[in-house]
Amino acid sequence: MKIAILGGDGFVGWPTCLHLSEQGHEIHILDNLSRRWIDTELGVQSLTPMDSIQERCRIWHEVTGRRLNFHLIDLAKEYERLKSWLAEEKPDAVIHFAEQRAAPYSMKSDRHKVYTVNNNTGATHNLLAALVETGIDAHLVHLGTMGVYGYSSVGAAIPEGYLDVDVETLSGDKASQEILYPTKPGSVYHMTKSLDQILFQFYAQNDGLRITDLHQGIVWGTHTDQTRRHEQLINRFDYDGDYGTVLNRFLIQAAIGHPLTVHGTGGQTRAFIHIQDSVRCIELALQDAPKSGERVRIFNQMTETHRVRDLAEMVAKKTGAKLSFLPNPRKEAEENDLVVKNDKFLALGLDPITLQEGLLDEVVEVAKKYAHRIDRSRVPAVSAWTRDLGARVERDPEGRALRTVS
The model carries a pTM of: 0.95
Q: How far apart are CA 226 and CA 278, in angstroms?
A: 13
Does position 195 have pLDDT exceeding 90, yes or no? yes
Helix boundaries (H) for 44-153: 53-64, 79-89, 103-106, 110-134
Q: How do beta strands 304-307 and 269-274 pair?
A: antiparallel
CATH fold for the domain made of 2-226+272-303+337-355: Rossmann fold (3.40.50)
Whether pLDDT at 392 is above 80: yes
Whether pLDDT at 259 is above 70? yes
- Mean local confidence (pLDDT), 191-210: 98
Q: What share of the chain is helix, strand, coil (3-state, %, to 5)?
A: 40, 20, 40
Q: Give the number of other Cβ atoms within 10 Å of residue 154's Cβ.
A: 7
Alpha-carbon gap, residue 86 to 135, rounded angstroms: 10
Neighbours of 404 (CB within 10 A): 4
Domain regions of the chain by residue span: 2-226+272-303+337-355
**Cα dihedral: 96, 196, 190, 52 (round 10):** 20
Range scoring the smallest mean pLDDT among 88-102, 171-185, 222-236, 353-367: 353-367
Contact present, 305 and 340 (Cβ < 8 Å): yes
The catalytic residues are 145, 189, 193
**What's the pLDDT tens digit per position in 122-142?**
999 999 999 999 999 999 999
Look at residue 155 in the predicted model and tell me its pLDDT.
Answer: 74
Q: Mind listing the pLDDT tens digit for each residue in 150-175?
A: 865 677 889 999 999 999 999 999 99
pLDDT mean across residues, the chain: 93
Residue 369 makes CB contacts below 8 A (sequence gap 6+) with: none
Q: How confident is the model at residue 358 (pLDDT cuts 50, 70, 90)?
A: confident
The one-letter code for the residue type at 351 is: D
Ranking 11-20, 73-82, 316-325, 395-404 by mean pLDDT, the lowest is 395-404
pLDDT reported for residue 360: 84
C-alpha span between 69 and 396 (Å, rounded) = 44
Angle at CA of residue 187, ends 302 and 300, nearest 5°: 15
Please choose, from the candidates 9, 2, 148, the residue with its C-alpha nearest in 3D space to the C-alpha of residue 75. 9
Kindly state the average pLDDT of the residues 263-268. Answer: 92
